[in-house]
Amino acid sequence: MESLSNKRKVLESKPLNFWERAYLPAIVQGLSITMKHFFRKPVTISYPEEQREFSENFRGMHSLKRDENGKERCTACGLCALSCPAEAITMIAAERQKGEEHLYREEKYAAVYEINMLRCIFCGLCEEACPKEAIYLDGNIVPADYLRKDFIYGKDKLVEAPLNQ
Amino acid sequence: MGLADIIIKLVLVVIIFAISLVIAMYSTYAERKIAAFFQDRIGPNRAGPWGLLQPLADGGKMFLKEEIIPTHANTFLFIAGPSLAILTACIGSAVIPWGQQMTIGSHVIDLQVADINVGILYIFGVVSLGVYGVMIGGWASNNKYSLLGAIRAASQNISYEISMGLSIIALLMVTGTLSLRQIAEQQHSWHWNILYQPLGFLLFIVCAFAETNRTPFDLPECETELVGGYHTEYSSMKLGFYLFAEYINMFISSAVMATLYWGGYNYPGMDWVLAHTGPAIGPLIGVVVLFAKIFLFIFFFMWVRWTIPRFRYDQLMDLGWKVLIPLAIANIIATGLWITFIK
């Protein structure tokens, strides 16, 4: 039967000829291949001194963004938590008081915003769900830790540093 | 033989002993570094500049590790095994001529510890003794993997010693002497034995790989089947001795191959160099040439190790008995015909 993909390869098992059985030509061939590698540039990245560059669409640790005036963009709408397939995000909303206008952009803000980094699968759906462009997975790799509770990141770790400091 | 001669010999013994130990030590470093280059890696580079202190760190680690002797092992033989292995590895270098006779003032110094007239047989005997270190260690461990590894090592070495001996017989027909000094002298300038015995050299180097238990003949320590082979139960510096013995063996067999087939300390144009540098410095250049050849062989050993996979056991035996021995005998006959009718 004709194969549809045209990728099928028919392998014949012929008895080895004399030079193949002599084994030495194959050894010389192998030696020449390894010798080519001997002069090739090593692919190793010496980790602590050199660091591998991430790809452009790498998704790392989350950061909660501020706007151009340094106000927190998040309005605690909860769409990120809703969209999260791993249910890693939780938050408690609060109302902005008088005198806090320089801190929060909208009238409602997240008083508590927590991401469980052990649950997070770094899919980026929270990024896409956010209507305020407040959350981005643009950080580094989430570091290792000893206790499970230390993997629940609050606003202290997630919010971007203030502008003028 | 005066007191001065004895002192010179003693100094020579100590120097050669130290050199073979240092070369064995840095062979472990070279092996790791070369393996890394063959695999597009960097290799050890943390201890000292370019990782040059790595062998010292490894040795220090070996000495500080706990020394374990299994409860049901035969303690005496368990300790005798690695001792014998390293002893036989070290005494092989005694008959190798490292250079021409050096003349300093009125003293004529032989750059060879012992010029015995059965040099090749001595090396052969020492190599055969090396099997005992492996065999005794494997048996005394009281471990089935060790025993299997030791039996493999013994049968492999015995099988390949035959074709090694036969390949040397053809060489001896050409040289007409067993003394390594005379064999080296005969290859003066560019008259290297490799030109007369290419097949013999090929057989010899294959057997040398098998005798030193190097890939593709490293079945005695085949990790996938035998855990660690004959040294499974060994720890601390006793394990270190086994590993060390392998590298010393590699150094000695490289030296033997260089001396028997690749001209030893001879190099084209040596008469001119000797005439211009004098009898004190000239022979030292020959020593350097010999060591360059040895290092090339050691590199070749490692090159092959990181290229070719291990043989299966039945393939190993097939190669040894059904291919190498007939080839060696054919080589003897061809050499005999060549000597009778052409030379």
pLDDT for residue A89: 92
* Of residues B163, B241, B150, B152, the one with CA closest to residue B205: B163
Helix (H) or strand (E) holding A111: strand A108-116
Q: Categorize the per-residue pLDDT at B143 as very low, low, confident or very high, splitting at 50, 70 and 90.
A: confident
- The pLDDT of residue A151 is 92
Rounded to the nearest 5°, which phi and psi values hold at B317? -70, -40
**Predicted pLDDT of residue A91:** 92
Per-residue model confidence (pLDDT) at position B1: 63
Q: So what's the pLDDT on residue A1?
A: 65
Is A35 in contact with B306 (Cβ distance < 8 A)?
A: no
Q: How far is B34 from chain A (nearest CA, A)?
A: 8
The pLDDT of B165-180, averaged and rounded, is 88
Residue B118 has pLDDT above 80, yes or no: yes
Q: So what's the pLDDT on residue B308?
A: 87
The answer to the question of whether A100 is labelled as a binding residue is: no
Nearest CB to B40 within list A27, A31, A37: A37
- CA A55 to chain B, closest CA, distance in angstroms equals 23
| Six-digit token string for B187 | 């290859």
Structural tokens at position B54: 């790595």
Minimum-distance CB partner of B42 among A27, A30, A46: A46
The domain made up of A63-158 has a fold known as: Alpha-Beta Plaits (3.30.70)
Q: What are the structural domain ranges in chain B?
A: 3-341
The backbone torsions φ and ψ at residue B178, rounded to the nearest 5 degrees and listed phi first, read: -100, -10
Cβ of A42 within 8 Å of Cβ of B308? The answer is no
Q: pLDDT, tens digit, for every residue of A36-78?
A: 988 888 888 888 888 888 888 899 899 999 888 888 889 989 8
Would the annotation count A141 as a binding residue?
Answer: no
Chain B residues within 8 A (CB-CB) of chain A? 34, 36-42, 45, 303-304, 306-308
Domain positions in chain A are 63-158
Q: Would you say residue B341 has pLDDT above 70?
A: yes
B109 band by pLDDT with thresholds 50, 70 and 90:
confident
* Confidence (pLDDT) at B3: 83
Out of A27, A34, A43, the one facing B38 most closely (by C-beta) is A34
Tell whether the torsion through CA atoms of B327, B332, B335 and B341 is positive or negative: negative
Give B313-323 pLDDT, tens digit per residue. 888 888 889 98
How many helices and strands in chain A, by DSSP H and E? 5, 5
pLDDT of residue A164: 67
Q: What percent of chain B has pLDDT over 90?
A: 9
Query: What does each of the 165 residues of chain A score in pLDDT, given as a tens digit?
Result: 667 777 878 888 888 888 877 788 888 999 999 999 888 888 888 888 888 888 888 998 999 998 888 888 899 898 999 999 999 999 999 998 888 888 888 889 999 999 999 999 999 999 999 998 899 998 888 899 999 999 999 998 888 888 765
Helix, strand, coil % over all residues of chain A, rounded to 5: 25, 15, 60
How far does Cα B59 stand from its chain's mean position? 21
Nearest to A38 among B38, B42, B45 (CB): B38
Q: What is the mean pLDDT of residues B275-286?
A: 81
B238-257 tens-digit pLDDT: 888 888 888 898 899 999 99
Record: contact B308-A41, CB cut-off 8 A: no
Interface test with B, best of A16, A35, A39, A44 (most B CBs within 10 A): A44
Q: Residue A69: exposed, middle, or buried by beta-carbon count in 10 A (0-12, 13-18, 19+)?
A: exposed
| Of B275, B131, B153, nearest in space to B218 by CA | B153
Q: Which of B187-191, B200-204, B276-280 has the highest mean pLDDT?
A: B200-204
**pLDDT at site A165:** 55
ipTM confidence: 0.77
* pTM (predicted TM-score): 0.81
A80 is an annotated ligand-binding site residue: yes
